[in-house]
Amino acid sequence: MSPSDAIRVDPLLAETVDRLLAASCSSDVIEQAEVDGWCASVWEPLAEAGFPWVSISEEAGGSGGTLTDALEIVRAVGRHAAPVPLAETAILGGWLAAASGLTLPDGPLTVVSDPSRLTIEGGYLRGAAPVAWARSSDAILAVVDTPDHQVVVSITPAQVDIHPRANMAGEPRDLVAFDLALDSIAVAEAPEGVDADALRLRGCLSRIVLSAGALAAMSQLTIDYTNERRQFGRPVARFQAVQHHLVTVAEGAVRASMAADVATRAMEHGGDCWFEVAAARLVVDAAAVEATRAAHQAHGAMGVAREYPLQQLSRRLWAWRHEYGPAREWRRQLGRQITAAGPAELFTTVTR
């Protein structure tokens, strides 16, 4: 990475978000949010500071800033296991609304992650799909195919039937049933570059960055615990077997952070960033599996205790692994793309 390509984020931005989340997002708060499905005390300080709308232009109703800035905030959300739809609002829903000229609501946004579940026919939008944070959002956005082109639609939760569901981390992943006349919802033609593939790519990157944040927190938590926990008169971190676990967790966190940085830089710079995002997805998936196993082995029974935060991080890591396509789908797609490019392009592709 050359100096001109390096990821640059205002240190004050990262510091402010960390401070807000550290003050509002304790383990008890996270646990209660998993029961309630929403946590206003975590969302509201972020919203008052304008963080959920960073990277959305001020002309479109956002806070300005770059995509890199927004993803740094998303990384902090992952680091604190914060139970808020900031990725859905800043990286996905806000992007769809701003790019298509739809009104940007004041509250949280979400998207239909799998637009193939929706159809437009005879003047109606129909289908059913799992939607993250649907019950708590001001608007649900989706990219939908029509016979001639793609459109972006915006629906309020009151217009649809929402059946509460949750992923293994207790985050809302509600089943939403759509049966709406098009003239009752906001519809805009999708501009060039705004389609289901672009949404999937941005959604995958959001999970990469969330996971990188969670892995960094997991590594620090494991270091702190094994230095504080004593056995046979010395910290367990001094035992060789435990040190092996510490190295595995730390390596996973660093690999995930580097992969997230490369993918973020590629998307920020525009153009074709599919390879970087897909490769980062595979790196982070492997890191999550290895680091979670090692962190829980280093913690022993404490790692699964509800009053201890490790399990809140590990459950999120394993839930995010399956969103916007599991690793096996990205692996196959990556393999097909490299094979199609041919042997002459292999070195150029993997070193760009």
Tokens representing 180 are 């709406």
For 122, residues 6+ apart whose C-beta sits below 8 A from its C-beta are none
- Specify the pLDDT at position 3: 40
Q: How many CB atoms lie within 10 A of CB 218?
A: 31
pLDDT value at position 6?
57
Burial of 128 (C-beta count, 10 Å sphere; 0-12/13-18/19+) = middle
Where is pLDDT greater, at 312 or 340?
312
Residue-wise pLDDT for 128-168, tens only, equals: 999 999 999 999 999 999 888 899 999 999 999 999 999 99
Instruction: Give the number of other Cβ atoms within 10 Å of residue 65's Cβ.
Output: 22
pLDDT at 7: 62
Q: Is the pLDDT of residue 121 over 50?
A: yes
The 3 state secondary structure assigned to 53-92 is: HECCCHHHCCCECCHHHHHHHHHHHHHHCCCCCHHHHHHH
> Cβ distance 114 to 70 under 8 Å?
no
| pLDDT of res. 112 | 98
Q: How far apart are CA 271 and CA 348, in angstroms?
A: 16
DSSP 283-327: HHHHHHHHHHHHHHHHHGGGGG-TTSTHHHHHHHHHHHTTTTS-H
- For residue 4, is pLDDT > 70? no
Across 43-52, 194-203, 263-272, 336-345, least confident range? 336-345
List beta partners, residue 110: 140
- Pick 340 or 129 by higher pLDDT: 129
Q: What is the pairing mode between strands 109-111 and 139-145?
A: parallel
d(CA 301, CA 306): 11
Q: Give the pLDDT of residue 46.
A: 97
CA angle 172/319/106 to nearest 5° reads: 40
pLDDT band at 18 (very low <50, low <70, confident <90, very high): very high
**CA–CA separation, 196 vs 126, rounded Å?**
17
With a pLDDT cut of 70, the percent of the chain lying above it is: 98
- pLDDT greater than 90 at residue 21: yes
pLDDT per residue as tens digits for the range 233-250: 889 888 899 999 999 999
Would you state the torsion angle of the CA atoms of residues 66, 68, 70, 74, taken in this order, to the nearest 10 degrees? 180
For the residues of 15-67, what is the DSSP string, one character each?
HHHHHHHHHH--HHHHHHHHHHS--HHHHHHHHHTTGGGBTS-GGGTS-B--H
Output the CA angle 133-30-40, nearest 5 degrees.
55
- Measured at the CA of 68, the angle between CA 64 and CA 71, to 5 degrees, comes to 100
- Smallest Cα–Cα separation from 130: which of 147, 111, 146, 145? 111
Rounded-to-integer distance, Cα 131 and Cα 93, Å? 12
| Helix or strand holding residue 196 (H, E) | helix 196-228
3-state helix, strand, coil in the chain (%, to 5): 60, 15, 25
